[in-house]
Amino acid sequence: MCWHQIVSRSMGQGSLPAPRSRGTLLPEGVRMNPSLLLAAQSLPLLDDLLLLLLGAMLVALVTRRLRIPYTVGLVVAGTAIGFLRHQGILPSGAGHFELTKEVILLILLPPLLFDGAMNTSFAKLRENAALIGTMAILGTFGCILITTAAIRSLTGWDWDVSLLLGVIVSPTDPVSVIAIFREQGVEKRLSTIVEGESLFNDGLVVVMYILLMRGMEQGWDGITASEGVLTFLRMIGVGAFIGLSLGALVNWLIERINEHLVEVLFSILLAYGSYQLAEHLEASGVIAVVFAGLMVGNIGRRSSMSATAILSLGLTWEVIAFVANSLAFIALGFAVDPMLVVENFPTVVLVWLASTAARALMTYAIAGADQAIRGAYPRSWLHIIHWGGLKGTVPVALALGIAESTTLFEIAPRIQAIVAGVVMLSMLIQGTTVKPLLRRLNIVRPREARRRWERHQARSIAVETALEELADAVSSTEIAPDRVASLRERLLTIRGTIHEDLNQVLQDHPEFAAEQVRDVVIRLLHRQRSAVEDAYREGILSDEALQDVQAEIDILLLEEFPDPVPGAHGEESTP
């Protein structure tokens, strides 16, 4: 008896007819395998993911051309897609991709945290430990309290609901800001302060959110202040211990495995495994991932990995972070109906202003005192530390989680809409104005020399192309050589002038010449690697010879790249 007949009879409906789809290639009497039918039913999810990634690639190309932050473009695209979806123009519902709390916290957040932690060195963290720790703890608590008081006065909600919203909108996500820092050549210390604070305040906020939701569900009568503090410290401490322990274990394993693909796979398993283990033990998965990433990005790459593994690790995590960021931001509009955000827009603006003002107060109080005492960085950095605290994926994940609460079921959609709106405002306003602010504060000055250098290079390319085109026209007998001699002489004169200008820039800025040489060397090394791999595919080289030569080339590549992989910042990084 067929499988579907057994199932249908158990339901009391007799045997099911074998439907034949229009245009099917199956003959009459032949039934589709149930596993294939199940796969066909799940295809909308795959279609959605493929379309999201395609959209993310298009957004990346457009934002690069328009010179705006990539994450800002993703938020705009996600809002548009979400509007079309909630209006029924695009399909949704069962089988289609949905942005849930689990998708963000369990799938998208761990790789983003791990990648950020690998890019942060222990040495820079030690240099700024006091400021980062104080901002992540006291600054976060201060922002939450000030924002909560503002929300309470604006909305009239109960204190616990106002506190919950204050907690949700407090985490920062500096992904787009750090990308701007790298593009503009901002000093590494400023980047470390902004990113380091974000890594740790995310972990603290998630723990506070869990405790707050537990109290609202179970009631506050059975929870004392001391129990809450002890639970908070236990979740943070156990999470840090899990991350450090698993990171050390993976580093020990990598040191004994000379296979770069396995080493990269270990790092992926560590990112997700540390998070899952910490959550299973009721500890902070966010803190576990952060410390695991610090271990691999600093100690592991220096003491355990080959050059090939280091390069593979950097490239792999660059792709993983790109995909996770793309899905997180472009799918933001899926989570909340944009029309609901519009309905609550006045509250959205007020909450964003309150959280921004609260961060300004805590930043200028804490970082201002640190700058006055140590004088280790200019005072203008305070404005960037404040304004660079953008909202990102963590607030959205926490907001989506309140839908599961029985006590917040009625108000959950409004809170979710407010949080989504705050994230959008933060990205659109703060994300697009960080770069002009950097220049306004003279933290990065317009690089006129580099612009002049690039303009001369562009003119040189244009003239060389014109000369080649002229030579092709002459060789194809389109025109007599003597009739274009004056034109050729004029182009040669222009080329000579451009080369003189280029040489003058190189004399004034010899570092440009070094960059030129390095770019040529990198291209040559990549060409050598491709030639060796072609020889291997043709059977000329053995597997051992290929690996030996690849390792030699990768060592040379690692020396040429200015910052080739996470954690490579040219300083010692031992804890």
Residues 465 and 513 in one domain: no
Query: Residue 20 pLDDT more than 80?
Result: no
For residues 569 and 125, what is the distance between their CA atoms, to the nearest angstrom?
Answer: 12
For residues 506 and 508, what is the distance between their CA atoms, to the nearest angstrom?
Answer: 5
Q: Answer yes or no: are the C-beta atoms of 204 and 229 closer than 8 Å.
A: no
pLDDT of residue 92: 65
> If you average pLDDT over residues 509-533, what whole number do you get?
75
Residues 474 and 519 in one domain: no
> If you average pLDDT over residues 261-286, what whole number do you get?
92
H or E stretch covering 549:
helix 543-560
Does some domain include residue 522?
A: yes
Does some domain include residue 5?
A: no
How confident is the model over 287-338, as pLDDT tens digits? Answer: 999 999 999 988 887 777 877 888 888 889 888 988 888 887 776 666 677 8
Counting Cα atoms < 13 Å in the Cβ hemisphere of 460 gives 14
Q: Where are the beta strands (DSSP E) in 407-492?
A: none
Does some domain include residue 77?
A: yes
Q: What average pLDDT is seen over the chain?
A: 80
Closest CA to 80 of 90, 94, 95: 90
> If you average pLDDT over residues 441-469, what whole number do you get?
77
How confident is the model over 197-256, as pLDDT tens digits? Answer: 888 888 889 888 888 888 888 777 766 778 778 888 899 999 999 999 999 999 999 888
> If you average pLDDT over residues 433-456, what whole number do you get?
78
Query: Residue 27 pLDDT more than 70?
Result: no
Highest mean pLDDT, choosing among 24-33, 37-46, 175-184, 555-564? 175-184
> If you average pLDDT over residues 150-161, what whole number do you get?
90
List CB contacts of 307: < 8 A, sequence separation 6 or more: 551, 554, 555, 557, 558
For residues 419 and 164, what is the distance between their CA atoms, to the nearest angstrom?
Answer: 11
Highest mean pLDDT, choosing among 94-98, 522-526, 548-552? 548-552
SS3 541: coil
pLDDT of residue 575: 40
Does some domain include residue 356?
A: yes
How many of the other CB atoms lie within 10 Å of CB of 535?
Answer: 14
Residues 367 and 479 in one domain: no
Domains identified in the chain, total number: 3
Does some domain include residue 92?
A: yes
**DSSP 8-state secondary structure symbol assigned to residue 13:** S
Closest CA to 432 of 180, 197, 55, 193: 180
Single residue among 402, 424, 440 that ends a domain in this structure: 440
**Angle 122-127-129 (CA atoms, 0-180°, nearest 5)?**
80
Query: Residue 574 pLDDT more than 70?
Result: no
Residues 94 and 192 in one domain: yes
How confident is the model over 415-435, as pLDDT tens digits? Answer: 989 998 999 899 889 988 988
Residues 422 and 459 in one domain: no
Q: CA–CA distance from 526 to each of 87, 98, 490, 560 (Å)?
A: 49, 41, 37, 12
Residues 84 and 193 in one domain: yes
Residues 333 and 390 in one domain: yes
Query: Of 42-46, 83-87, 357-361, where does mean pLDDT reach its minimum?
Result: 42-46
Q: Which structural domain range is residue 431 located in?
A: 62-112+122-234+327-440
Q: Answer yes or no: are the C-beta atoms of 117 and 291 closer than 8 Å.
A: yes
List CB contacts of 422: < 8 A, sequence separation 6 or more: 169, 348, 351, 352, 355, 391, 395
Single residue among 506, 531, 555 that ends a domain in this structure: 506
Q: Answer yes or no: are the C-beta atoms of 439 and 380 closer than 8 Å.
A: no
Q: One-letter amino acid identity for 311?
A: L
Query: Residue 573 pLDDT more than 50?
Result: no
